[in-house]
Amino acid sequence: MLKIYFLICLLFTSLISSASNSQTTRIKITDGQVARIPIAIADFTGPDGTPTAEGRQISKIISDDLRNSGLFAPVDTAAFINPPSSPDITPNFDNWSPLGVEGLIIGSAYFDDENVLQLEFKLWDVVTQKALTEGGGSAAPAGLRRIAHKVADFVYVEFTGDKKYFDTKIVYISESGPQDKRIKRLAIMDQDGHNHRFLTSGRDLVLTPRFSPTAHEIAYLNYFNDEPNIYLFQIATGQTEKLGSFPGMTFAPRFHPDGNKLIMSLAKDGSTNIFEMDLLTRDTRQLTNTVHIDTAPSYSPDGNNIVFESDRDGRQQLFIMDRDGSNVERISYNKGRYATPVWSPRGDVIAFTKMMGGEFFIGIMRTDGSGERLLARGFLVEAPTWAPNGRVLMYYKQEKFKEDGSGGKTSLHKIDITGFNEIIVNTPADASDPAWSPLLGSKP
Amino acid sequence: MIKRLLTICAATILLAACETASTDSNEVVGSSSGTSSASGAAASASSNTSSTSNMASDSASSASSASSAGGSSSIGSIKSPDELLAKVGSTVYFDYDQSTLTAEAQATLDRQAAFLKASPSFRITIEGHCDERGTREYNLALGDRRASAVRDYLVAKGINASRLSTISYGKERPSVGGSNETSYSLNRRSISKID
């Protein structure tokens, strides 16, 4: 059993000890149906052994994370009989096995005299009656949701064998107003939709934000002064900076996994080609040289290859090349047009948007183009982005507009890459162009 | 100032010439191709959606005021440069996923070129637009391709490239509301605007 401690300070998070040794995958998939793991999450208690308000909030955050993953079925707390008053107390398993749960989370969480949140938890395997993992940490009040996401991450890893992803953020484009005068703003929120915040005012049209590997910066397309170019946004300070000066429009940015380079498209004289910029020197080099449209580039997780879309063969298709632009090879050959490829953080598959028969689809294929699977469809679904564990995709969906310019509901959705558990991500207004952050606190 | 007035006078006279040549105001809206369905769609939309479309209502109002002014080239009917350009035909339409200029698009651009030659102080920005049935990045590139096609045509007709700039809005700025083939055909367009 592992003992895990974490600490959330005002802004920064450090994991004192981490990693799970459990590789047991308990998810069972039969005929495309996933059997959700029944799990009990007791309300976290205070020093007196009774649930605290903050403890209840934390339990709910953990429960929501696990339920929304589609892989867990948290049991209603009302069914609990005599939950232990502290994570130090071994539960009476006779009270839990009748609920059919496989896992049980017991924890304590309270604000101490200095208003610091103190948290401990223990995860029990109800079947074997053994503790699987335990840990604890402290956080400023503003870090409450993050520390809860971290506990949920440990539970997720322990039971699924997948990597964690709950302690992450989403940057996206918030949309409002009529179809012909759409106001678009950069907005950021936690992965579960909380802590929502607008980053730009809506005065300038902004599109396609992408996180840097540290999640401290966002690269995006900004129509400042009616000159569309890629800008860099510093999340902590709100500073923006135009990236370079080009004789045309730069767009479709994505960071290299090392965080020091950025790949993008430059449209000039009707041709669109792919360039890489060194963010330290600001030197750029041209990777493709066509009279066609080469765009939407995305690096492989090792940074050595690039997948992109091109209409050089007539219609949009997916291509892979080496990072220096050599060895270009087409990988999409099935029916339809393929666009917006994004390499999975696991490296094995590529997510894309597909257009076929008047419909749009979100799908994945292996990096050699084989094994294509379509996961979501709609009048318009577009722009997949990967959770950092490569298990969940988010994208946006737009409904049809009416003739008066109303309608056209646009919203974020996420789906498990097995193709089930498609759920909407709640946002204050219409939403498009999502980008999932890396795990917070991670380094390139 | 005097030079500017002269320029506008010249443009107005040119307009009068254009007007006698054109048979009706339909070509202000234009159509996307030679296919009957597309041009029919464009024509019907010009009458149905003028209340929701700035471009269409601008064209309609300038057309009607021009006809009320009749053939007279009195100095009292001076319009804004953009109104004059709209009267010449500021918008051309494209087929789905295409940037080739149809015969009608070329006819509109021939008039734009004549207008620009007659008004040598004007510089224009050509906006490239797409319908919503493409992905965002590709449409940004396609809008650039359309705007560039218009610019290249005008340059070939003798307009100095330094007077022409381009910008792509992809699918971000449709002029006509609705998710249907009519609106798509009217949103696949370039618009020339005087700087």
In 3D space, the residue among A124, A119, A152 whose CA is nearest the CA of residue A136 turns out to be A119
Question: What does the alpha-carbon distance between residue B149 and residue A7 come to, in Å, rounded to a whole number?
Answer: 58
User: Which of B141, B142, B145 is the closest to A265 by Cβ?
Assistant: B141
Instruction: Provide the pairing of β-strand A317-322 with A329-330.
Output: antiparallel
User: Which of B148, B172, B179 is the closest to A270 by Cβ?
Assistant: B148
Structure tokens at A365: 């294929």
Tally A–B CB contacts below 8 A.
120
Identify all chain A residues contacting B173, using CB atoms and an 8 Å cutoff.
Answer: 180, 182
Identify all chain B residues contacting A400, using CB atoms and an 8 Å cutoff.
Answer: 179
* pLDDT confidence band for B54 (50 / 70 / 90): very low
The separation between the first and the last C-alpha atoms of chain B, rounded to the nearest angstrom, is 17
B59 in contact with chain A, both atoms CB, cutoff 8 A: no
pLDDT tens-place string over residues B13-22:
444 444 434 3
Identify all chain A residues contacting B183, using CB atoms and an 8 Å cutoff.
Answer: 401, 403
Cβ–Cβ under 8 Å, residues A328 and A308: no
Residue A235 and residue A106 share a domain:
no
- In this predicted structure, the answer to whether residue B194 has a pLDDT above a threshold of 50 is yes
From A143, A160, A177, give the residue that closes a domain: A160
Question: What does the alpha-carbon distance between residue A158 and residue A319 come to, in Å, rounded to a whole number?
Answer: 37
Give me the CATH number covering residue A154. Answer: 3.40.50.10070
**Sheet with A261-268: strands ordered across:** A249-255, A261-268, A271-278, A284-286
DSSP code of A403? T
Residue A413 and residue A299 share a domain:
yes
The SS3 assignment for A2 reads strand
Structure tokens at B58: 């601008």
Identify all chain A residues contacting B141, using CB atoms and an 8 Å cutoff.
Answer: 251, 265, 267, 272, 293, 295
Side chain identity at residue B123, one-letter code: R
Q: What is the pTM of this model?
A: 0.85
Residue A152 and residue A180 share a domain:
no
A433 in contact with chain B, both atoms CB, cutoff 8 A: yes
Instruction: Provide the pairing of β-strand A261-268 with A249-255.
Output: antiparallel
CA distance A311 to chain B (A): 9
The answer as to whether A250 is a domain residue is yes
The answer as to whether A442 is a domain residue is no
A205 in contact with chain B, both atoms CB, cutoff 8 A: yes
Identify all chain B residues contacting A226, using CB atoms and an 8 Å cutoff.
Answer: 167
The answer as to whether A441 is a domain residue is no
pLDDT tens-place string over residues B147-184:
999 999 999 999 999 999 999 999 999 999 999 999 99
Question: What does the alpha-carbon distance between residue A132 and residue A147 come to, in Å, rounded to a whole number?
Answer: 19
Identify all chain B residues contacting A395, using CB atoms and an 8 Å cutoff.
Answer: none
> What is the predicted pLDDT for the residue at A42?
97
A380 in contact with chain B, both atoms CB, cutoff 8 A: yes
Cβ–Cβ under 8 Å, residues A360 and A379: yes
pLDDT tens-place string over residues A113-166:
999 999 999 999 999 999 999 999 999 999 999 999 999 999 999 999 999 999
- Determine, for residues B177 and A179 on separate chains, whether the beta-carbon distance falls below 8 Å: yes
A409 in contact with chain B, both atoms CB, cutoff 8 A: no
Identify all chain A residues contacting B142, using CB atoms and an 8 Å cutoff.
Answer: 293
Residue A246 φ then ψ, to 5°: -125, 155
> What is the predicted pLDDT for the residue at B78?
67
Number of domains in chain A: 2
Identify all chain A residues contacting B132, using CB atoms and an 8 Å cutoff.
Answer: 380, 398, 401
Q: Residue A39's domain spans which residues?
A: 2-160
The answer as to whether A97 is a domain residue is yes
Cβ–Cβ under 8 Å, residues A432 and A185: no
CA distance to A59, A129, A300, A400, per residue, from A77 (Å): 10, 20, 43, 41
CA distance to A146, A147, A200, A229, per residue, from A188 (Å): 15, 19, 10, 21
Give me the CATH number covering residue A185. Answer: 2.120.10.30
> What is the predicted pLDDT for the residue at A4?
64
- In this predicted structure, the answer to whether residue B48 has a pLDDT above a threshold of 90 is no
The answer as to whether A430 is a domain residue is yes
Residue A191 and residue A325 share a domain:
yes
The SS3 assignment for A157 reads helix
Based on its alpha-carbon atoms, the radius of gyration of chain A, rounded to whole angstroms, reads 23
Structure tokens at A153: 């991450």
A13 in contact with chain B, both atoms CB, cutoff 8 A: no
A404 in contact with chain B, both atoms CB, cutoff 8 A: yes
Cβ–Cβ under 8 Å, residues A386 and A404: no
Identify all chain B residues contacting A355, using CB atoms and an 8 Å cutoff.
Answer: 133-135
The one-digit pLDDT tens for each residue of chain A (444 residues) are 556 666 554 333 333 333 334 444 455 544 556 789 999 999 999 999 999 999 999 999 999 999 999 999 999 988 898 899 999 999 999 999 999 999 999 999 999 999 999 999 999 999 999 999 999 999 999 999 999 999 999 999 999 999 999 999 999 999 999 888 999 999 999 999 999 999 999 999 999 999 999 999 999 999 999 999 999 999 999 999 999 889 999 999 999 999 999 999 999 999 999 999 999 999 999 999 999 999 999 999 999 999 999 999 999 999 999 999 999 999 999 999 999 999 999 999 999 999 999 999 999 999 999 999 999 999 999 999 999 999 999 999 999 999 887 889 999 999 999 988 999 999 999 999 999 999 998 887
Domain-by-domain residue ranges, chain B? 2-194
* pLDDT confidence band for B76 (50 / 70 / 90): low
- Determine, for residues B141 and A226 on separate chains, whether the beta-carbon distance falls below 8 Å: no
Mutate to test the interface with A, among B44, B47, B137 (most CBs of A within 10 A): B137
Question: What does the alpha-carbon distance between residue B192 and residue A331 come to, in Å, rounded to a whole number?
Answer: 39
Residues 287-316 of chain A with CB under 8 A from chain B are: 293, 295-296, 309, 311, 315-316
Residues 73-92 of chain B with CB under 8 A from chain A are: none
> What is the predicted pLDDT for the residue at B79?
77
From A122, A143, A160, give the residue that closes a domain: A160
From A160, A194, A227, give the residue that closes a domain: A160
The answer as to whether A443 is a domain residue is no
User: Which of B136, B144, B175 is the closest to A207 by Cβ?
Assistant: B136
Residues 249-278 of chain A with CB under 8 A from chain B are: 249, 251-252, 265, 267-272
- Determine, for residues A296 and B135 on separate chains, whether the beta-carbon distance falls below 8 Å: yes
Residue A297 and residue A412 share a domain:
yes
Residue A177 and residue A145 share a domain:
no
User: Which of B53, B138, B177 is the closest to A293 by Cβ?
Assistant: B138
The answer as to whether A272 is a domain residue is yes
Homologous superfamily (CATH) for B2-194: OmpA-like domain (3.30.1330.60)
- In this predicted structure, the answer to whether residue B24 has a pLDDT above a threshold of 90 is no
B110 in contact with chain A, both atoms CB, cutoff 8 A: no
Question: What does the alpha-carbon distance between residue A301 and residue A350 come to, in Å, rounded to a whole number?
Answer: 11
Identify all chain A residues contacting B177, using CB atoms and an 8 Å cutoff.
Answer: 178-180, 401-406
User: Which of A249, A404, A408 is the closest to B168 by Cβ?
Assistant: A249
Residue A207 and residue A153 share a domain:
no
- In this predicted structure, the answer to whether residue B10 has a pLDDT above a threshold of 80 is no
The answer as to whether A231 is a domain residue is yes
B54 in contact with chain A, both atoms CB, cutoff 8 A: yes
Mutate to test the interface with B, among A293, A316, A356 (most CBs of B within 10 A): A293
> With 0-12 CB in 10 A as exposed, 13-18 as middle and 19+ as buried, what is A160?
buried
